[in-house]
Amino acid sequence: MIVSPLVLALVIGAPSFSVDPDVGATAAIERESARHWAALERLWVRTTGRAVKGPPNVRVHARRDFSAGFNGRSTPGVVQLRPTRGAPTERQRIALRHELAHQLLLAACPAAARDRLFHEAFAIWTSGEQENWLSEHITVREARRRLRRGIDDRPSTRAAIARVLAEADAERALTERMRDCEEGPPLTIEALAQAAQFSDAMVVISRHSGEVLAHDGASALKMPFGSTLKPFVVSAHGPGPELDVPADVPMWACHARGPKMGAEEALLRSCNGYFLDWPALPADFGRYQPLFDRFEVRPRVVAEAVGLASRLGLSAFELAQAYRVLAEADPAILATLDDNAKHGTLADTGFSAEGATKTGTVRDADSRPRVGWIVFVDDDVVAVMARRGRAPRTFAAELDAVVRGLDRASLVAVERAGDFAPGCGANGIAVSVSRDRVVVDAHVPDARWLCLGAPTVNGAGVVDGRRLRTRRGQAPRATLE
């Protein structure tokens, strides 16, 4: 057999693994260790062009006294793991892969042994655990704030690193650090969390419980929101005037049906000219403004509110939350948007799911799309999809497939009677919604009341008087029932 020098180097470099019997599933863990080490080594060699030397042996032994949220620890050549009975659990395998990443870095780049951010980011990046931490929808800014407090192995730190890996330009910073790990300076939070400007994102939330049913990509990345907030402008300041459609005005080139246009048609055509010419239209979101304040969306001019100017940003998750409130506050405006897939901006795109839609497109100076948005709302869900560099019409079928793929039976609302105390879970935004008022951070008696980004103290749901509306199969928290 002819063995190339590189392969030989890899074979010589790989350690043997000895797993203590009290870890459980010894043979399986040895196999998993060897397999993952080989994968890490390949990544290292391909990124840096350098082989990994040693250690000759890595010993895995059991440790039972980890505090909650901790499943493993590493010192050079030794991995401590929470033990298991029977086959390795997914949690144990992730912890093993995480610790092996530390082991590989210690062997491949001893000079970076004290670069904690590099170590933890590399371990989370390569262990397959990243997805597990993304269910907490923190922004990159919040992630940065957490990391500045200190880098460790705690769940809140891991969620911050996972968020940065998902939404910022982190992989580039990581691979650069790998390449110059012997001489380079330690990885900084700024380098790791350098924000990507535009990215793909998708999130689906239940209108009833508020819980995230599906998400993908950079769902917490703030991006310019295009025309997606025009329905809030009409809901807040409508009904809106009937305006003459001027000829040869580019802002009005939106295929008007006739010589006059009202707010309803302006929404379906997403017609910027209409909003710019609406006399004395306030540059805010009226009764929804306190909610948008929480998302740091405070327009200075009408063009910013309707998305013609793109100074402000909103994440897919925040946009979905805002539409959850709109759907409770103004069903009529959603009914208007039911026509959008037939006669509006999504006509003839193959989008056929029954429900309200609104599109948004952010363009560069040459009118190329930088990011496209589609919001979908029906009786049970809010879905938001953003695609970098694409116009909404080009990915409408993709969102249609996501919406059609949802398990409808579990999504429908059920109502339960009980006593409901006002209050939101940690990090939630409490919103009271009635026909003419939206009150943020307070509970208004007799208004419908929901929590954005967290369950109510009673469980996930919308509270309406003494009833809790949630989705089927979801019980309110037992202690308060």
160 token code pair: 């911050």
Choice between 96 and 123, CB closer to Zn ion? 123
DSSP state of 460: S
Selected range binding Zn ion among 83-91, 145-153, 382-390, 441-449, rule: CB under 5 A: 145-153
Report d(CA 354, CA 52) in Å as an integer: 56
List CB contacts of 43: < 8 A, sequence separation 6 or more.
Answer: 126
- Contact call for residues 57 and 13 (beta carbons, < 8 A): no
Closest distance to Zn ion from the beta carbon of 163 (Å): 16
- List the end-to-end C-alpha distance of the chain, in Å, as a whole number: 70
Per-residue interface string for the shown chain with Zn ion, residues 70-109, x marking contact by CB under 5 A: ----------------------------------------
Closest distance to Zn ion from the beta carbon of 110 (Å): 17
Edge-first strand order for the sheet with 467-471 is: 413-417, 467-471, 462-464, 448-452, 429-433, 438-440
153 touches Zn ion (CB under 5 A): yes
Distances in Å between the Cα of 446 and the Cα atoms of 292, 319, 433, 434 are 23, 26, 9, 8
Selected range binding Zn ion among 33-41, 123-131, 165-173, 276-284, rule: CB under 5 A: 123-131
Closest distance to Zn ion from the beta carbon of 152 (Å): 8
Edge-first strand order for the sheet with 356-363 is: 212-217, 201-206, 381-388, 369-377, 356-363
165 touches Zn ion (CB under 5 A): no
Choice between 123 and 261, CB closer to Zn ion? 123
Closest distance to Zn ion from the beta carbon of 102 (Å): 6
Side chain identity, residue 387: R
Selected range binding Zn ion among 33-41, 148-156, 228-236, 462-470, rule: CB under 5 A: 148-156
Closest distance to Zn ion from the beta carbon of 98 (Å): 6
242 token code pair: 């009937």
Selected range binding Zn ion among 149-157, 198-206, 339-347, 425-433, rule: CB under 5 A: 149-157
Side chain identity, residue 404: R
| Stretch 345-364 residues interacting with Zn ion (CB under 5 A) | none
Report d(CA 331, CA 326) in Å as an integer: 8
Closest distance to Zn ion from the beta carbon of 129 (Å): 10
| Stretch 435-454 residues interacting with Zn ion (CB under 5 A) | none
Strands 201-206 and 381-388: antiparallel
Choice between 120 and 304, CB closer to Zn ion? 120
Closest distance to Zn ion from the beta carbon of 155 (Å): 12
Angle made by CA atoms 127, 130, 134, in degrees to the nearest 5: 165
Selected range binding Zn ion among 7-15, 118-126, 354-362, 388-396, rule: CB under 5 A: 118-126
Selected range binding Zn ion among 114-122, 209-217, 260-268, 462-470, rule: CB under 5 A: 114-122
Choice between 41 and 153, CB closer to Zn ion? 153
Report d(CA 227, CA 213) in Å as an integer: 25
DSSP state of 376: E
| Stretch 401-420 residues interacting with Zn ion (CB under 5 A) | none
Closest distance to Zn ion from the beta carbon of 103 (Å): 11
Size of the site for Zn ion (CB under 5 A): 3
Report d(CA 411, CA 213) in Å as an integer: 9
Closest distance to Zn ion from the beta carbon of 76 (Å): 14
152: part of which helix (H) or strand (E)? none
Choice between 114 and 435, CB closer to Zn ion? 114
Q: List alpha helices for 14-115, DSSP H.
A: 26-48, 90-108
Selected range binding Zn ion among 78-86, 150-158, 341-349, 359-367, rule: CB under 5 A: 150-158
Closest distance to Zn ion from the beta carbon of 127 (Å): 9
Selected range binding Zn ion among 62-70, 116-124, 301-309, 429-437, rule: CB under 5 A: 116-124
List CB contacts of 32: < 8 A, sequence separation 6 or more.
Answer: 88, 93, 96, 97
160 touches Zn ion (CB under 5 A): no
Choice between 41 and 120, CB closer to Zn ion? 120
Axis crossing angle, helix 26-48 with helix 90-108, rounded to the nearest 10: 40
Closest distance to Zn ion from the beta carbon of 37 (Å): 16
Report d(CA 348, CA 356) in Å as an integer: 15
Report d(CA 190, CA 194) in Å as an integer: 6
Q: Which of 123, 147, 213, 334 binds Zn ion (CB under 5 A)?
A: 123
Q: Site residues (CB under 5 A) for Zn ion?
A: 120, 123, 153
